[in-house]
Amino acid sequence: MAKRDDRPMEFNFARRGGGRLLSNDLSMTTELSAAELSRFARGAALPPALRKGLEEKGFFSGRLDFARLLPRHFAALLADWKGPRVHIVAVTADCDHACLYCGASSGSGGSHMTRATAKKTLNFIFSTGAPELVIEFQGGEPLRNFGVVQYMIGEAKRLAARGGQSLHFSMVSNLAGLTAEKLAYLAANKVTLCTSLDGPAAIHDSGRKYSGGSSHAAAVRGIALVQKLAAAGELEPLNAICTVTKYSLSQPKAIVDEFLKRGIKRVQLGPLEPIGRAARAGLAVTPEEFLAFYAEALEYMLRLNRRGVAVYEKGALMFLKQMVGGERPRYQNLDLLYRLAYGPDGSVYGSDEARLLAAGGNEFFRLGSVEDSFCRLASSPLGRTLILSCFPRLTQPRCARCPHSAWCRVSPVYNHAAQGGFWGDMMTNGRCRVFMGVSDLLLAKLKEPAARKMLEGWAEGYQ
């Protein structure tokens, strides 16, 4: 019979290659061979180094270092929560593009947020309680309602000076309407910019339709303006996102090269999600297609790293921060708890995906309006259910037994859009397959010494 101290804590496990991946309630993970797992589960003797490693990660119920492990446990349960940090404000539904897979279903002639609604939105944001606030301007194309962006920045600074919150601004823009004057204003107010870059012109322009000509040419011109200021230290480096569609699948290297050609070393690759116009575009890729594309892109980035070229993938970085850095999961993405989104009319949503779904006509996830109180919206039936959904290990049958749940996030909006229900079915869920596939790929790469060195460098060197 197992000694009392050697009994295992409750853990999840799954077969991975020849081994077994384990995780526990402290979001700690480890890999064992089948024979090691058998001995561990029975409480049989283990080699000292293995036993020590498992003990340090809290896998023995009688050998828990409470002083060291409890803060992590409470952090996993969001005990230090103080309010939603990220606030995504769609200042307009108007856009100079009509991309085939626009999540916001935007196009020419969409409505702008008014100053009166912008003021109420800011009052709502500052009433939510978070000591650090990130306000991200989106659309439509936010540069097309720049007066309201300027108004919100000035007013938010005034409110933060009064309330003591720290404040950071960002903007997601296609950059086609970026002028030197607008950029100078954004730089003076330290607004971080993010754009879409789907690859070289042939790929980018296939899906992104711009009334002024080539979307790629417009983006490249804007990127060059931003990067010039960034090189002079007047602005943070630009972020860019590649939406992976059928057009991208055969071109992972060309896409990575395009980022590097534009001076962007942070590559972000995400599959097209079935929200907004994208749901009808017929350009979505399957999880298996995305994972094959992603594996090739990752391998190429690691090869470039070995040749001394600095480049990394943002999604992988988030996993690696937890896998090798032991950092807590990325709570910034949790619906309602860590982020909120606002429509041009002052509607409030628990996530940007929910806002995008509503822009396409489906208001299922609309929480209310900025004229309501945050407490009332968060305690509404939808608000409480969104909060529950932030804990998949406690609320999703498959996640409750899944070792990947330590670093995973389930999106009710994706579930609703792709599977027709709030909770979805993780056995057939495309996002789940992508999360599992990417984390399995990274765990496999971490076993290769040369790749591990590079990936550890990502976790240590980038934010």
Written as one letter, the residue type at 269 is L
Is 32 or 436 the residue whose CB approaches ligand SF4 more closely? 436
Give least dist CB 420 to ligand SF4, A: 17
270 neighbors 241 (Cβ within 8 angstroms): yes
Between CA 375 and CA 366 the distance in angstroms is 15
Give least dist CB 442 to ligand SF4, A: 13
Nearest 10 degrees: Cα torsion 260, 266, 268, 269: 50
Between CA 299 and CA 402 the distance in angstroms is 26
Alpha helices in 324-429 (DSSP H): 352-359, 374-378, 381-389, 392-395, 397-400, 412-414
The number of C-alpha atoms within 13 Å of 18 and in the hemisphere containing its C-beta is 4
Is 88 or 402 the residue whose CB approaches ligand SF4 more closely? 402
Give least dist CB 226 to ligand SF4, A: 35
Interaction between residue 418 and ligand SF4 (CB under 6 A)? no
Q: Mask 95-134, x = binds ligand SF4 (CB under 6 A)?
A: ----------------------------------------
Give least dist CB 396 to ligand SF4, A: 6
Q: Mask 339-378, x = binds ligand SF4 (CB under 6 A)?
A: ----------------------------------------
- Cβ atoms < 10 Å from Cβ of 50: 15
Q: Which residues 387-416 are close enough to bind ligand SF4 by CB under 6 A?
A: 392, 396, 398-399, 402, 404-405, 408, 410
Interaction between residue 426 and ligand SF4 (CB under 6 A)? yes
Is 188 or 394 the residue whose CB approaches ligand SF4 more closely? 394
- Cβ atoms < 10 Å from Cβ of 145: 26
Identified binder of ligand SF4 from the candidate list 248, 435, 438, 451, rule CB under 6 A: 435
CA nearest to 93, candidates 117, 77, 73, 74: 117
3-state secondary structure of 363: coil
Contact region with ligand SF4 (CB under 6 A), list: 109-117, 155-163, 344-352, 429-437: 429-437
Q: How far is CA 170 from CA 97, 192, 195, 382, in A?
A: 20, 4, 11, 28
Contact region with ligand SF4 (CB under 6 A), list: 94-102, 112-120, 432-440, 451-459: 432-440
Count of residues of this chain found to bind ligand SF4 when the rule CB under 6 A is applied: 13
Is 24 or 396 the residue whose CB approaches ligand SF4 more closely? 396
Tokens (6 digits) for 146:
């720049």
Q: How far is CA 248 from CA 62, 198, 285, 304, 316, in A?
A: 51, 8, 9, 20, 19
Within its chain, how far is the Cα of 53 from the centroid?
30
Interaction between residue 22 and ligand SF4 (CB under 6 A)? no
Residues in touch with ligand SF4 (CB under 6 A): 392, 396, 398-399, 402, 404-405, 408, 410, 426, 432, 435-436
